Amino acid sequence: MGYINRIKRTAVTLKYLKPGQVFYRVKYSLFSVNKLNQKHFSGEVNNSFELLGLPEQKNVISQQNHLYTADILNLKKTYTEKVNWADLGYGRLWNYNLQYGDFLNQHNLTTSQKKVLILDLYHWLINGKIAPEPYPSSLRIMNLIRFLYSQSNVEESSTELLDMLYSELCFLTDRFEYHLSGNHLLENAFALHMGGTYLNNIKWVNKARKLLEHELQEQILDDGAHYERSPMYHNIILFRVLEAISYTDTLSEFHLFLKEIAEKMLSWMQKITFGNGDLPNVNDSLNGVALSSSSILQSARRLNLNTGISIPLNSSGYRFYSSKIFEVLADINGIKPDHQPGHAHADSLSFILYAYGKPVIVDPGISTYDNNEIRHWERSTAAHNTITLNDENTADVWHSFRVGDRPDVKILEETKSSVYVQLSCKTLRNQKFNHKRRFHTEDHIFMITDKTDQTEMVTGRLFCSPDAKIIPHNSILEIRTGTNILFLQFENATDFSLFNYDYAIGFNKRIKSTGIVYHFHNVCKLKISEGK
C-alpha cells in the first residue's frame, strides 16, 4: 500500500474515535509511567468482604526445585532461579498473561511460593524493570485481592503485599484506559471498585461506581450483549459483574443496577450458546479463555439471579435459529462499536451451523493477536463463511486491532425463521460491492441465497468443523459428523472444490481442517438438508 493510501487509511480509522480517546492517547504518551511508586497502606481491610468463588484455574506457573515453567497460551518457557517478568520472546499478549498474577489462583503452588512470585513481580515493577500498565495492573489487583481474601487470617498476610496492592491501586486510579474504552476500561473500573471495597477507600469506590454505571449502560446493548460483540469478552465482563454483585451491599441501588445488567447479559449469553454448551467463535473469541456459559450460570444461581429472562436478539447484530436438526448463528451486523472495533472481524453476513448438536460449518477462530499474516487472515472476510469479490475484505481490517472503512449493513426483511440482509461497501481497489443474503431455516433444511450486482465472478467459502468428513458425489457434497449425515447442494455455482485450512483451538494452537470454496455469477443458492 502506498504512502498516500496509508495516510488515508489512518485518517479514516481515527475519524471514528471519540475526542476523549484522542485526548487520553496524547496525554498518556506525553506523561508515561516507567515504574510503580511504592506506597504504604496504613488502613484496615474490610473484614466483611466476600467474594464469589472461582472454578479451579489452569496452572500458569509450575515450580520444581529451582526451575519455574510458565505455560501460557499454549507456549512454554522455563526459567532458572527467577522468572523473567519482562520476557517478550512470545509476544506482548503472552507477557501480559505472565504478569496477570493468575498463578495466585492455582492449587499446585504453596502459599509461600505464591508470595515469593508475586513479590518478585512487584519488585520488578518498583525497580522499573517493567513498566506498570493499566490492563495487567487491573487483573493483577483482582487476583491479589482474591489471594489475600483466601487467607484464613488477613492480619497474618504479608504487610508488604497490602502495600503493593495499595501502590498499584494508586497507580490505576490515575491511569484509566479512556483512550481504549471497551472491556479495558471496565476491567480498570472493576479493579478499583474491588480494591476500594477491600481497603475501605470510599473515594475509590465512588469513582469506580460512577464509571461503571456510565460504561455498563453504554457497553451493554438492549439485547444484553457487550458492545464489542465477542462472546469470550462478554463472559469475562459478565463474571466481573457477578463478582461485584457478591461483595456489594444487597440493599444498595448499585447492587440492584448490577443485577439488572447481569440478567440482561445472562439472557444474551444463553441466546447465542449452542445446545452442546459451545459459544460461537465470532470476532475475537475462543472457547476455554473465559468461563463457560454453564459455569457462569452456576455462579448466577448462587447469587439468586433470574437466569430465565429471555430478551430477543436485536442490536448486537446476531440472530440465532433453532430447528429439529439445525442451530444457526447469523451475523447481520457491520463493524461495531464505531469507536472501538479492535476485536471485530470483516465477517458481516457470515454464519455458524450446528446439526444434531455438533458443529458443521464453523468460524476458523483466532490463534494470535500479533500483527502478522495469521492475524490478518483470521480477521479477513476470506476467513469467514460468506462471499468475497477478488478476495477483498468487506471492512478494512488492518494491523492487529484497527479498522478503516466499514460496510453498510441493513436488514431488508425478517421473520421468525429467516432474515434478508444487504451489505454495501467499497473495496481497497475502489470497487463497489453489494451483497444480499437470505438465511432461511426449516426443520430439516437450511438454505442461503446470495445475490450480487457484480459482473465479475465472486467466491464463497464454507469452513467445516475438523470433525466433519466431506465426500463429493457429483453435484452434491455429503458431510458426515460422527454417524450423522448432511447433504450440501449448490444451485447456480459454476464450480466447487475442497481446500485445507488451519482451525484455531487456542492461542498459538491450530489444527488442519477442510473447507469448501465455490464460485458464481450474480445469484447462488445453497441448501443443506438431512441425510437419509
Q: Where do the domains of the chain lie, and which CATH numbers do they carry?
A: 1-30 (no CATH), 318-530 (2.70.98.70)
For residues 195-222, average pLDDT: 98
From residue 226, alpha-carbon distances to 121, 343, 363, 373, 503 in Å are: 32, 12, 20, 28, 25
For residues 39-59, average pLDDT: 86
Element spanning 120, H or E:
helix 111-126
- Is 363 a residue whose pLDDT tops 90? yes
- Is 532 a residue whose pLDDT tops 80? no
Report the alpha-carbon distance of residue 475 to residue 489 in Å, rounded: 7
For the segment 135-169, what is each residue's pLDDT rounded down to a tens digit?
A: 999 999 999 999 998 886 655 557 899 999 999 99
- Cα–Cα nearest to 118, from 76, 160, 151, 169: 160
| Per-residue DSSP letter, 322 | E
Report the alpha-carbon distance of residue 297 to residue 304 in Å, rounded: 10
pLDDT band, residue 1 (cuts 50/70/90): low
Could you give the percent of the chain with pLDDT greater than 70?
Answer: 98
Other residues' Cβ atoms within 10 Å of the Cβ of residue 202 = 9
- The confidence score (pLDDT) of residue 455 equals 84
From residue 266, alpha-carbon distances to 254, 284, 311, 350 in Å are: 18, 20, 10, 24
How far from the centroid of its chain's Cα atoms is residue 112's Cα?
34
CA count, 13 A, side-chain hemisphere, 180: 18
Report the DSSP beta bridge partners of residue 447: 440, 527
Question: Which residue in this structure is represented by grid cell 520476557?
Answer: 87
Cis bond upstream, residue 337 (ω within 30): yes
pLDDT band, residue 53 (cuts 50/70/90): confident
pLDDT band, residue 507 (cuts 50/70/90): very high
- Select the more confidently predicted residue: 431 or 335: 335
- Which sign does the torsion angle of CA 86, 89, 92, 93 carry? negative
- The confidence score (pLDDT) of residue 425 equals 95
Contact residues for 82 (Cβ-Cβ < 8 A; gap 6+): 68, 120
For the segment 387-416, what is each residue's pLDDT rounded down to a tens digit?
A: 999 999 999 999 999 999 999 999 999 999
Other residues' Cβ atoms within 10 Å of the Cβ of residue 398 = 19
User: Cβ distance 264 to 309 under 8 Å?
Assistant: yes
Using a CB cutoff of 8 Å and minimum separation of 24, what contacts does 117-121 make? Answer: 117/61, 117/68, 117/83, 118/144, 118/147, 118/161, 118/164, 119/158, 119/160, 119/161, 119/164, 120/82, 120/83, 120/85, 121/83, 121/85
- The confidence score (pLDDT) of residue 54 equals 79
pLDDT band, residue 293 (cuts 50/70/90): very high
Contact residues for 186 (Cβ-Cβ < 8 A; gap 6+): 212, 215, 216, 219, 237, 240
Lookup: cell for 53: 468463588
- The confidence score (pLDDT) of residue 472 equals 93
For residues 254-274, average pLDDT: 98
Q: Could you tell me whether strands 458-463 and 75-80 are parallel, antiparallel, or unpaired per DSSP bridges?
A: unpaired
For the segment 97-130, what is each residue's pLDDT rounded down to a tens digit?
A: 999 999 999 999 999 999 999 999 999 999 999 9
- Which sign does the torsion angle of CA 154, 159, 165, 170 carry? positive
Contact residues for 486 (Cβ-Cβ < 8 A; gap 6+): 355, 360, 478, 479, 480, 528, 529, 530, 531
Whole-number mean pLDDT of the chain?
Answer: 95
Question: Which residue in this structure is represented by grid cell 459478565?
Answer: 238
- Is 487 a residue whose pLDDT tops 90? yes
- Is 494 a residue whose pLDDT tops 80? yes
The CA angle 445-447-452, to the nearest 5 degrees, is 170
- The confidence score (pLDDT) of residue 163 equals 96
Report the alpha-carbon distance of residue 244 to residue 190 in Å, rounded: 8
| Per-residue DSSP letter, 429 | T
H-state helical runs in 16-79: 19-30
Q: Could you tell me whether strands 402-403 and 397-398 are parallel, antiparallel, or unpaired per DSSP bridges?
A: antiparallel
For the segment 510-525, what is each residue's pLDDT rounded down to a tens digit?
A: 999 999 999 999 999 9
- The confidence score (pLDDT) of residue 360 equals 98
